[in-house]
């Protein structure tokens, strides 16, 4: 690893990333009741539908952002990071434009087919697609800054854009009109401005005179990782998909809350990936960074999960203010929270595989874990109910962690 990268303050990076994560969570927590009150039940339902669509679209970023981080970091050692950014920006653009066009076509055809309920407004959904187009492409700049370890710049720009979006949305709802269109309009407009400004700032401050052709990445490389990432995404949602088909609405609603807690805790992991993946990809000696990431992951993700699993019911009761729901959710969390701790222990080794482009092994691990989840859900849902989902999470984590000795043996056999 080059000396400039090695000297970057890792603790300040992580502090900034977690501060940004906290700002996002706090903003959502504080503003959500205000939005619900301003919009009313019907319009908030439209906004919730738009946010669901947005979440599905942005899932595509899971196949691009980790390889982008790694490839920018490795290219920066040879002064070719801008070429990698341009290549990934084209990939982001092709995917974003394709999904944008397909989405707009679907929205055009659905009313003609009669498949769309009459109370579903189309313009907010169209604006979601516009926001996605620019926000998704903007992720190339954010990934670039994270890859060259300028995370402070990335975090500050994301935080500023977030605050501007919400300030504009609140202003329009309060002083113009209280509907989904007014809510989404500033998000789409600010996302467009954010993309333009970030791209301009990146190219203005990036090193000049770099080659325009780079060998660090290609479409086949990204597609190979996409298979592993896709299986991972399915594994994170398969419990909700299966249980939503079999559980009564009340039971599934409570399971959904429990899984939301788990997924929220797993959001503590991406800041570690952003900080350690560039270092693992460029290090001459990978072991110190691997063990440093493992220590950080155990401290920042696994330990909070284990502590929460010791007494989940009082915390859930405090959160939901519903004793019956807390009593039903607590046993689920007692299974799922230890699974989060195990997944946190496995994450550094998956990051190591990603840094070394071991996509086939990553795909096999995720496929085995997904198969184990499906087997548990298929054989225990009828008898265990919602607890089958918690058991599936635990089995998934154990299956992935069981591969760690194989990863270490492979790396020991290689020229590490």
* Alpha helix positions (H), 10-113: 10-58, 65-76, 81-113
207-241 pLDDT, tens digit per residue, is: 765 555 444 455 667 777 888 888 888 888 888 88
Rounded CA separation 150/187 (Å): 25
Q: How confident is the model at residue 411 (pLDDT cuts 50, 70, 90)?
A: low
Give residues with Cβ within 8 angstroms of 76, minimum separation 6: 5, 147, 148, 282
* Torsion on CA atoms 64, 152, 297, 72, rounded to nearest 10: 30
Share of the chain above pLDDT 90, in %: 51
Q: By CB neighbour count within 10 A (0-12 exposed, 13-18 middle, 19+ buried), where does 212 fall? A: exposed
- Confidence bin at 410 (pLDDT 50/70/90): low
Q: How far is CA 11 from CA 142, 152, 297, in A?
A: 19, 12, 13
Task: Give the phi and the psi of residue 268 in degrees, each rounded to 5.
Answer: -75, -10
Find, among 268, 300, 26, 10, the residue nearest to 159 by Cα. 26
Confirm if 92 and 136 have CB atoms less than 8 A apart.
yes
Residue 413 has pLDDT above 60, yes or no: no
Count of CA atoms in the C-beta half-sphere (13 A) of 163: 8
> Mean per-residue pLDDT for 351-374?
92
Across the range 26-45, mean pLDDT stands at 84
Q: What average pLDDT does the chain have?
A: 87
308: CB partners within 8 A, 6+ apart: 265, 315, 333, 337
Contact 75, 214 (CB under 8 A): yes
Name the strand (E) or helix (H) holding 143. helix 122-147
- Structure pTM? 0.83
Q: Can you give the pLDDT at residue 210?
A: 56
Over the stretch 270-326, which tens digit does the pLDDT of each residue have?
Answer: 999 999 999 999 888 888 999 999 999 999 999 999 999 998 999 888 877 788 888
**Angle, CA 120 vertex, CA 233 and CA 192 arms, to 5°:** 60
Q: Is 247 helix (H, G, I), strand (E, B) or coil?
A: coil
pLDDT of residue 218: 57
Give the least confident one: 302-306, 325-329, 369-373. Answer: 325-329
């Amino acid at each position: 690893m080059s000396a400039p990268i090695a000297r970057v303050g890792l603790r300040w990076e992580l502090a900034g990333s977690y501060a940004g994560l906290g700002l996002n969570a706090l903003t959502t927590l504080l503003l959500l009741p205000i939005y619900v009150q301003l919009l009313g039940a019907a319009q908030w339902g439209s906004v919730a539908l738009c946010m669901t669509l947005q979440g599905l679209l942005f899932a595509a970023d899971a196949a691009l952002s980790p390889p982008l981080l790694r490839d920018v970091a490795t290219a920066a050692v040879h002064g070719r990071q801008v070429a990698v950014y341009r290549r990934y920006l084209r990939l982001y653009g092709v995917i974003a434009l394709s999904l944008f066009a397909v989405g707009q076509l679907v929205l055009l055809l659905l009313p003609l087919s009669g498949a769309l309920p009459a109370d579903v407004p189309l313009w907010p959904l169209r604006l979601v697609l516009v926001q996605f187009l620019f926000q998704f492409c903007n992720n190339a700049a954010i990934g670039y800054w994270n890859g060259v370890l300028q995370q402070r710049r990335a975090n500050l720009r994301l935080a500023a854009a977030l605050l501007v979006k919400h300030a504009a949305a609140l202003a329009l709802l309060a002083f113009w009109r209280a509907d989904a269109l007014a809510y989404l309009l500033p998000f789409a407009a600010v996302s467009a401005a954010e993309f333009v400004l970030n791209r301009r700032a990146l190219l203005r401050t990036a090193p000049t005179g770099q080659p325009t052709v780079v060998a660090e990445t290609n479409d086949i490389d990204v597609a190979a990782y996409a298979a592993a990432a896709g299986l991972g995404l399915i594994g994170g949602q398969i419990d909700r998909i299966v249980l939503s088909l079999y559980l009564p609405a009340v039971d599934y609603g409570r399971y959904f809350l429990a899984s939301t807690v788990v997924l929220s805790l797993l959001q503590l992991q991406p800041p570690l990936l952003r900080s350690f993946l560039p270092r693992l990809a460029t290090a001459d000696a990978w072991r110190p960074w691997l063990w440093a990431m493992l220590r950080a992951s155990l401290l920042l993700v696994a330990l909070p999960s284990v502590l929460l699993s010791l007494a989940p019911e009082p915390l859930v009761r405090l959160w939901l203010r519903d004793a019956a729901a807390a009593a039903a959710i607590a046993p689920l969390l007692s299974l799922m929270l230890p699974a989060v701790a195990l997944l946190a222990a496995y994450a550094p080794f998956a990051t190591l595989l990603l840094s070394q482009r071991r996509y086939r092994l990553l795909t096999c691990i995720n496929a085995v874990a997904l198969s184990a989840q499906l087997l548990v859900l298929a054989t225990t849902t009828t008898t265990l109910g919602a607890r089958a989902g918690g058991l599936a999470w635990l089995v998934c984590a154990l299956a992935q962690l069981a591969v760690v000795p194989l990863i270490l043996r492979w790396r020991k056999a290689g020229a590490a």
